[in-house]
Each structure stands twice: as C-alpha cells, then as structure tokens.
C-alpha cells in the first residue's frame, strides 16, 4: 500500500468524488484534473517536504531578539506550496482559485502532512482567509484574504492566552476604539488592542511579507467593564505590518511583538509563539496599542472564529492521520527488510535455518494491521467529512442541511479519534523497529512526538468529548444522532446481505444500540455532572462505532469493486481486524457511561 493508492481507492472507488463534477461549481473538473492536483502535491511533498522533516525537527526556529530564523528548507517548502496554487484551490475562479472540491483539496493536502507535518503552515493561512471570505468586508477580503491566497502574506489564529486556554471566556485582551474616526476606516472599524496571545503557530517568521493575525479580544463598555463569557468576545484583523486601504505595506510596524518562542516536544518546524499586542515596542502613529480592524459584529467573534473550526478540526484529524500513516509506511518498510528470528514450528525453532524477516512474525503482522486499520480507517473518515463539507456547500437544501448536521456530530470524532489512535499507531511503529525505533536515526520517534500535540490543540480531548455528549448528540432534539444512526443502518442493511460481511453488520448494529442506550442512560437524570463525568469514555466508544461503520462501508466498496487483489484483501482484513480486535472495546467504555459512574468525580482532592 502507498498513501496514493489508498487515497485513489477512497476518492474514486468509495466516495465517487468525480460525481461532484455534475455540479455547476465543479463542472470544469474531471478525474483527470483531480489526478493532476494529487500528482503535483505528491511530487512537491516528496521533493520539498519529506527530505527535510528531520532537519526542521533539529534546527528549531531561532529568535535573535529581532528576527526569527527558519531553515532554508522551510522557505523553499513554503514557496513551492504557494506556487502550487493550493492556498486558493477551493476559491472561485475570480479569486484566482480553481474551484476544487474540498474533498480533493483535503486529499491533496494529506501528502504534505504525511511528508512533514510541521514544515508548512498553509492550513492556517487558508483557514484565516476563508474566515475573512465569510465574515469580512469587501475591503478586508480584497486586502487581506487576497494576499493570503496568493501566498504573499500568511495567517494565524490568536485565541488562547497564557491564563485562558480551554476557557476562552477568560480572554483578557482588550480592544478600544482608536479615535473618533475609528468607524470610518476603509479596512473596518479600527481599534487598539492590548494583551498577550499564547500558542500562536506561525506567529512570527520571515516566510512572507506580512502576517495577518485574527485575534479574539473584548471591547469594554462605557463603564470600562467587559461582558463576562464568550458573548463578550469580538474578532479583529491585526496585521504585523500596517497596510494601506489598497493593500500596500506602509512601512510601519504594528504593535505586535514576539515575547518568546515555545519549545515543544514535537511539531518543531512551525514557530510557536507568545505574542504581545500593544505593549508599546512599536508605536504605530506614535501611540501604544496594536491596530486591529473589527471583523463581523462586536460580541460575535467566537461565532466567526468557529466558522473555520470545523475545517480546522478536520485538518487536525487529517494531520494526526497522516502522522500515523507515515509511521505505518515506515514500519512496513522496516518489517519487510529486517531479518530477525525464525518461524515457529511445532518442535520449536530450528536455529540452523536462516533468519526470516520480521513481517513474517504474527505479532509484527498484528502491529502492522492495527496501524493500517487505524490510519486507513481514519483517512476514510476524514475524506468522508470533507465530502460532507462539499455537500453542505453545493448540495440541494435538504442534502446540505443533512450534511451540516452530520458534520456537527462527526467533527468531534474526526478531530479526536485519529489524535488518539494514530498516535497509538505511531507507538506500534516504534515497537516494530525495536531499539532502532527508539533512536533518532529512524523517523518513527518523531512522528510519535509530533502526533502527541493533536489531542491538545484545537480543543482538547476533554473539550471534544463535552462537545459531543453535551451538545452534538442533543442538538435539534437528537436529530443529528438519529441522522447518523440512519446512515449507519443503511450500511448495515447492505452489508448484512453479504455472507462475508454479515457478522460485521450484526456487530455494528449491536454497537449502535449500545451507544444509543448509553446516551440515554447518561442523560437519564438530566443532571450534566452525572452525564458528563465519563464524556471521554463515551467519545471513545462513539468513535470506535463510527470507525467500524466507516470500515464496513469501505468493505462494501471493496466487494462492489469486484477486485480480489492484494489491496482488496488488505482492506477487507483491516475491516475484519477492526471488528474483531477493536469494536469489542466499546463495552468497557460504555459501562461507566451507562452507570453514570462517579468514582472519579466524587473523589475529594486530598485523596489523590
């Protein structure tokens, strides 16, 4: 298996991506144009990303007090990515885009994440510009988004602060109107911002001519107080360098200063920063405070920010998936070439025989098939979600609404599941390498380190679980959950008619019922603390059920293809692995949900 063969199968045999081309927006496209995009991205990733993945891990960003230095390879990768047109691939032709379906964009971007997850930060720039396209004024779109799509400027998302990570309602950054004429600035209502933002990826560098920060801050009322909670949050464009209404650099720095770089366990190719806004290091117009332009309406900042959250969370899920995939492919290659040990015979091992390669040992095969079932399954899930994004944007009203609601329910899984299980895949990849896997001479330890971030950023595991159990499965009177169950049941109905898949179908049906009754039992008392004490185990079980469904649906596509080649055999085995080794795990997770187990929640602090 290769990443490309997997993507090809999932896009063309399973998701039938070319059918999108019957829609007006995508009507110029064909499998040929999709393939051309995939070819280009695969090539750039192979040439400009993969060879430098270790280098960007060891040559971390360096700040000399003035500028942040990154390796030349990072500049080259950035340039090649921008030149590929991927930053604006999904945009209208008018905007220099190619009106590419998001499904294909996501698949094409997977090559970069697999080759070197941290060398590029294109996802942030695209997400930033997409947000402006949705919520910005024409001037904001033309000045900021346009330069981002072109790759001349890059973008960030500034949500967290040192004292406010998961709890965004506590952001302390303040924005005050900048002068009497602040409402009439051509770039949007102009404010002065003061505060600190933490964990800002790509927050400072010399890769692009300018950096466009999207910053959450609160606007104090006439009494100088801010509205508590997330309702008080507004969103601002804060460029690193000031620009004219026509989008030219004025030559003046905005008051955004790098306070320090974070030194992380992994993901070291991307600068990660603490930024000071308005500390007075630079004083545009001779005044303190970073100049920012309001996006959308005051108090609706988080709502605007969440516009990009679904795609960002799919992006995180895809990154986790691709780190897992990179480890799988590396350990598969190692297992095919490393001789060690001998076959097991009834009479023991014959030491006079030559050694076999470790892929011939059952336990190594188990570790490989586990990785394949986690990573190829997760890839299928992410592409399925990307396909829903396209449906939401280009389907008919009913279908778009269903896609929206399914996405709401599936997003916490798309983000959390690969973060947990493709990390486990990376650990198995290390294990297959033995002692060598524990050294920096092989790539797998880096994948494992890089991947550990994904359960943390863009909403922790715990936050995703609360989102799922407290919001998503309840919203619209449970319609999202019903919709998902309906889709799962459709797959079950088709699979149950095939002798090879009927047992899986029955197992999935039982799992779905278990999840359904656990959901009810969790909320039986109506008390959130009862229900949510075990939100993470619930999400783990929910995720495994979703993945079992995805694998069963993929298995149906394998069988429908009529192929019985090695790749088909491998996918059916990965599905079987998931049903035999993984799905049965949900029982243990759901048990504590069903009983609303308070063992942890009730334990007093001094008993730990």
**Would strands 241-243 and 249-253 be described as parallel, antiparallel, or unpaired?**
antiparallel
| Plot region of 604 (φ>0 → left; ψ -120 to 50 → alpha; else → beta) | beta
Which residue, 19 or 346, has its beta carbon nearer to its own copies? 346
User: Number of C-alpha atoms within 13 angstroms, CB side, residue 73?
Assistant: 23
Among 54, 63, 137, 165, which residue sits at the site for its own copies (rule: CB under 8 A)?
165
Alpha-carbon span 320 to 325, nearest angstrom: 9
Q: Considering beta carbons, is residue 337 or 399 the nearer one to its own copies?
A: 337
Nearer to its own copies, 144 or 447 (CB): 447
Angstrom CA distances, 142 to 138, 153, 207, 209, 328, stand at 6, 13, 21, 16, 43
Q: What character string, x for contact with its own copies (CB under 8 A) and - otherwise, covers 551-570?
A: ---------------xx-xx
CB of 59 to its own copies, least distance (A): 15
241 near 253, Cβ under 8 Å?
yes
Site for its own copies in 484-543 (CB under 8 A): 526-529, 532-537
Q: 405-430 burial by CB neighbour count: b if 16+ within 10 A, else e?
A: bbbbbbbbbbbbbbbbbbbebbbbbb
> How far apart, in whole angstroms, are the C-alpha atoms of residue 244 and residue 411?
38
Stretch that binds its own copies, among 15-23, 128-136, 226-234, 474-482 (CB under 8 A): 226-234
| Smaller CB separation from its own copies, 352 or 398 | 352
CB of 411 to its own copies, least distance (A): 19
Q: What span, in angstroms and rounded, lies between the C-alpha atoms of 234 and 462?
A: 25
Stretch 342-401 residues interacting with its own copies (CB under 8 A): 342, 344-346, 349, 351-352, 355, 359-366, 368-369, 372
Kindly state the smallest distance separating residue 443's Cβ from its own copies, in Å: 12
Q: Which position among 5, 167, 337, 490 is part of the footprint of its own copies (CB under 8 A)?
A: 167
Among 198, 243, 406, 429, binds its own copies (CB under 8 A): 198
Instruction: For helices 475-495 and 535-561, give the axis angle rounded to 10 degrees.
Output: 40
Q: Which is nearer to its own copies, 527 or 560 (CB)?
A: 527
Window 257 to 286, contacts with its own copies (CB under 8 A): 262-266
- Closer to its own copies at the Cβ: 91 or 416? 416
First to last CA, the chain: 47
Given 360, 458, 500, 582, the catalytic residue: 458
**Window contacting its own copies (CB under 8 A); options: 38-46, 173-181, 203-211, 339-347:** 339-347
Query: d(Cα 238, Cα 87) in Å, to the nearest integer?
Result: 20
Position among 163, 399, 490, 513 found at the interface with its own copies (CB under 8 A): 163
Contacts (CB under 8 A) with its own copies, residues 425-484: 427, 430-431, 434-435, 437-441, 445, 448-449, 452-453, 455-457, 460-462, 465-466
Phi, psi of 549 (to 5 degrees): -65, -50
Among 51, 220, 221, 229, binds its own copies (CB under 8 A): 229
- Please choose, out of 144-152, 303-311, 498-506, 590-598, the segment that lies near its own copies by the rule CB under 8 A: 590-598
CB of 219 to its own copies, least distance (A): 16
Which 10-29 positions form the footprint of its own copies (CB under 8 A)? none
Comparing CA positions, the residue from 370, 191, 416, 358 lying closest to residue 284 is: 191
Are 393 and 130 a contacting pair, CB within 8 Å? no
Is 458 a catalytic site residue?
yes
Q: What is d(CA 295, CA 602) in angstroms, rounded to the nearest whole number?
A: 43
Active-site residues, by number, are: 458
């Amino acid at each position: 298996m290769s990443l490309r063969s997997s993507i090809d199968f999932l896009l063309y045999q399973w998701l039938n991506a070319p059918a999108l081309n019957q829609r007006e927006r995508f009507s110029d496209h064909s499998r040929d144009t999709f393939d051309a995009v995939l070819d280009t991205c695969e090539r750039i990733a192979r040439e400009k990303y993969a060879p430098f993945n270790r280098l960007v891990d060891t040559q971390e960003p360096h700040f000399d007090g003035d500028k942040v230095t990154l390796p030349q390879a990072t500049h080259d990768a950035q340039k090649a990515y921008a030149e590929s047109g991927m930053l604006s691939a999904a945009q209208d032709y008018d905007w220099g885009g190619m009106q590419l379906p998001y499904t294909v964009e996501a698949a094409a971007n997977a090559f970069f994440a697999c080759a070197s997850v941290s060398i590029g930060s294109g996802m942030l720039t695209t997400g930033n510009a997409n947000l402006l396209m949705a919520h910005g004024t024409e001037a904001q779109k033309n000045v900021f988004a346009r330069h981002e799509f072109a790759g001349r400027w890059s973008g960030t998302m500034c949500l967290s602060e040192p004292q406010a990570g998961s709890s965004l309602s506590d952001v302390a950054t303040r924005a005050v109107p900048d002068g009497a004429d602040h409402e009439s600035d051509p770039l949007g209502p102009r404010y002065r911002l003061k505060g600190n933002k933490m964990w800002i990826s790509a927050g400072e560098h010399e890769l692009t001519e300018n950096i466009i920060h999207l910053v959450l801050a609160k606007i104090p009322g006439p009494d100088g107080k801010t509205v508590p909670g997330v309702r008080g949050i507004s969103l601002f464009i804060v460029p690193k360098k000031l620009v004219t209404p026509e989008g030219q650099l004025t030559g003046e720095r905005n008051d955004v200063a790098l306070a320090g770089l974070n030194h992380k366990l992994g993901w070291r190719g991307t600068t990660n920063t603490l930024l000071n806004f308005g500390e007075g290091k630079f004083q545009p117009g001779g005044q303190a405070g970073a100049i920012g332009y309001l996006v959308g309406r005051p108090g609706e900042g988080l709502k605007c920010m969440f516009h990009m959250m679904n795609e960002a969370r799919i992006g995180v899920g895809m990154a986790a998936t691709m780190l897992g995939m990179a480890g799988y492919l590396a350990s598969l290659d190692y297992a095919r070439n490393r001789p060690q040990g001998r076959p097991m015979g009834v009479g023991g091992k014959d030491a006079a025989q030559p050694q076999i390669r470790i892929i011939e040992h059952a336990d190594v095969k188990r570790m490989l098939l586990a990785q394949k079932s986690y990573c190829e399954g997760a890839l299928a899930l992410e592409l399925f979600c990307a396909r829903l994004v396209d449906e939401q944007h280009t389907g008919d009203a009913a279908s778009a609404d269903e896609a929206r609601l399914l996405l709401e329910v599936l997003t916490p899984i798309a983000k959390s599941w690969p973060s947990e299980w493709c990390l486990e895949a990376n650990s198995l990849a290390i294990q297959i390498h033995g002692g060598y896997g524990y050294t920096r001479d092989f790539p797998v330890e880096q994948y494992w380190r890089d991947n550990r971030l994904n359960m943390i950023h863009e909403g922790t595991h715990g936050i995703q679980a609360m989102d799922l159990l407290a919001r998503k499965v309840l919203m619209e009177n449970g319609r999202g959950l019903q919709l998902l169950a309906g889709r799962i049941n459709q797959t079950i109905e088709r699979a149950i008619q095939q002798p090879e898949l009927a047992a899986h179908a029955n197992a999935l049906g039982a799992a779905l019922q278990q999840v359904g009754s656990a959901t009810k039992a969790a909320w039986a008392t109506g008390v959130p603390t009862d229900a949510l004490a075990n939100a993470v185990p619930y999400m783990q079980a929910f995720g495994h059920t979703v993945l079992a469904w995805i694998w069963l649906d993929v298995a149906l596509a394998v069988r429908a293809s009529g192929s019985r080649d090695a790749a088909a055999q491998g996918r059916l085995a990965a599905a079987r692995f998931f049903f035999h080794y993984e799905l049965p795990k949900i029982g243990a997770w759901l048990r504590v949900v069903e009983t609303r187990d308070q063992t942890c929640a009730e334990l007093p602090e001094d008993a730990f």
